[in-house]
Amino acid sequence: MKTQVDSNGIVTLTREGEALVKDSPLYNEGLRPTTMEEHNWTSYNFASLWIGMSICLPTYAMAGGLISLGMNWWQAIITIILGNCIVLIPILLNSHAGTKFGIPYPVFARLWFGSKGAHIPAVARGLIGAGWFGINCWFGGAAIDTLLMSMTDWGNVPGHLWISFLGFWAINVWVAYRGPEAIRKMEAWAAPVLIIMSLALLIWALTSAGGWGPMLSAPSKFATTGEFLKVFFPALTGAIAFWATMALNIPDFCRYAKSQKAQVVGQSSALPTTMGFFSFIGVAVTSATVVIYGEALWDPAAVLAKFSPLAIFFGTIGIVLATLTTNVAANIVAPARAVENLAPRRLSYQNGALIAGFVGLLMQPWYILENFGNYIFLWLGTYGALLGPIDGIAIADYWLVRKRRIHLTELYKTNGIYSYKSGYNTHALWAMLIGIAIPFICKYIPGLTIVWDNAWTIGLLISLAVYTWVMKGNASIISAKQYEQVTSQAAAGKAS
């Protein structure tokens, strides 16, 4: 029986296929494959998604963190751009599965970890997303607090910083609660606004300082190549890990893509360029503040606080918009889907969004942001070591093991071929643990710390190789003939 139909590279369930699984405990409206009509995201939607997510306070501050560690401006910017070009590869590879089969990340994870085992990578990604949610809320809340103090007597209010933080957190949760379609619409108009405001800030800095400023002419603090590389590799891992979360759950968005071309063009054109561009603005504006104010102001809110009340008002709107577009898209969808996947019949995306918001508070973002060492090495480096192996397993399973063939209805069966033994694929568990353990052990072996410094990349490659090897001939792999037996081909140009 044909349970799925392929129309121009987009696979959807047939009526017969949907009837088979719609009553399954693993199926609900948020986790089901998308319909052909729901594949409506264009290249512009994906470009605006990444522009909206990349123009944020953590991006602005990232280059500053690298400069504080000893890099000069161009070393910091190149490190960030290179890291984003590297992470773009797994983003595009995992995007293909989401686009072709219309499945969200937790369902995609059932393919390689099993119907129950999928909770492991889904919750791991969700916890990190919730942590980022808290970090962005703290950035945004602190910025709003600074701006309010510059305009009013807000600083005399007891607990004013915490009030700003919790108020901004509540706004983020409310927007996220409205769902992915609301996110798409917000990103579409927010992206050009954020670009214009970023350019305005850069133009102000150049004209007010009479040039680029001293920071762009300051040399690197590293005397030798060896000294530079000791910072470069962990910094590169941090730059990769910045979006390593999205490399996993990008199917949550690409399941709505009109075509593979739409998601590839939109993402490739926007991610590395916007991250490099906005990081450079952070460096250039901070450099200008040395000339204008006699000190380096890395916090854009501190810069705006010196402007006129009208400029502060519009600047506050820009900061709120920049943080919202990043937070609700990059950091709440994945944990909300992970929570929903725990009990699809009892929990919804909206329940997940609320729970993720509260978990973000428990992650204590104020501690993570206490200094750049915590931010780049403790936070970004550590979770990069966790997510790299999961990324490797996802890529290996879809591209090397299954060769892009998925039996959709089996993903929603408690006893289907993707349930493995008792709902867990132990091959994936071992591949993940090996990919995490080897870099972690090398961290404590003299001469091998470079493996830990590149934990995301090396962990990804190790788990990819191990998983591909142990999954050879696995019973869950369907052949080309079996795939044809359940998949019908729609006439060109027609939707299912």
More confident residue, 447 or 309: 447
Residue 494 has pLDDT above 50, yes or no: no
Residue 393 has pLDDT above 70, yes or no: yes
Residue 232 has pLDDT above 80, yes or no: yes
Mean of pLDDT values over 343-361: 84
The β-bridge partners of 41 are: 257
Q: pLDDT above 90 covers what percent of the chain?
A: 45
Residue 408: the pLDDT is 97
Residue 103: the pLDDT is 97
Residue 376: the pLDDT is 52
Q: How far apart are CA 312 and CA 151, in angstroms?
A: 8
Contacts of 53 (CB under 8 A, 6+ apart): 246, 325, 326, 329, 330
Mean of pLDDT values over 7-21: 95
Q: Report yes or no: 390 and 124 within 8 Å, Cβ to Cβ.
A: yes
Q: Give residue-wise pLDDT tens across range 57-71.
A: 778 878 777 877 788
State the chain's mean pLDDT as an integer: 87
Query: pLDDT band at residue 496, thresholds of 50, 70 and 90?
Result: very low
Provide φ and ψ at 468, rounded to 5°. -60, -40
- Secondary structure class of 421 (helix, strand, coil): strand
Pairing of strands 487-489, 10-13: unpaired
Mean of pLDDT values over 257-286: 93
Q: Which of 131, 101, 399, 405 is nearest to 244 (CA)?
A: 131
Q: How far apart are CA 133 and CA 359, in angstroms?
A: 9
Report long-range pairs for 184-188 (Cβ below 8 Å, ≥24 apart). 184/41, 184/45, 184/49, 184/256, 186/52, 186/324, 186/325, 186/328, 187/45, 187/48, 187/49, 187/51, 187/52, 187/325, 187/329, 188/44, 188/45, 188/48
Residue 17 has pLDDT above 90, yes or no: yes
Domains in the chain, CATH or no CATH each: 4-489 (1.10.4160.10)
Query: pLDDT band at residue 374, thresholds of 50, 70 and 90?
Result: low
Query: pLDDT band at residue 381, thresholds of 50, 70 and 90?
Result: low
Q: Report yes or no: 241 and 380 within 8 Å, Cβ to Cβ.
A: yes
Residue 134: the pLDDT is 84
Q: Which of 90, 439, 419, 438 is nearest to 251 (CA)?
A: 90
The β-bridge partners of 13 are: 4
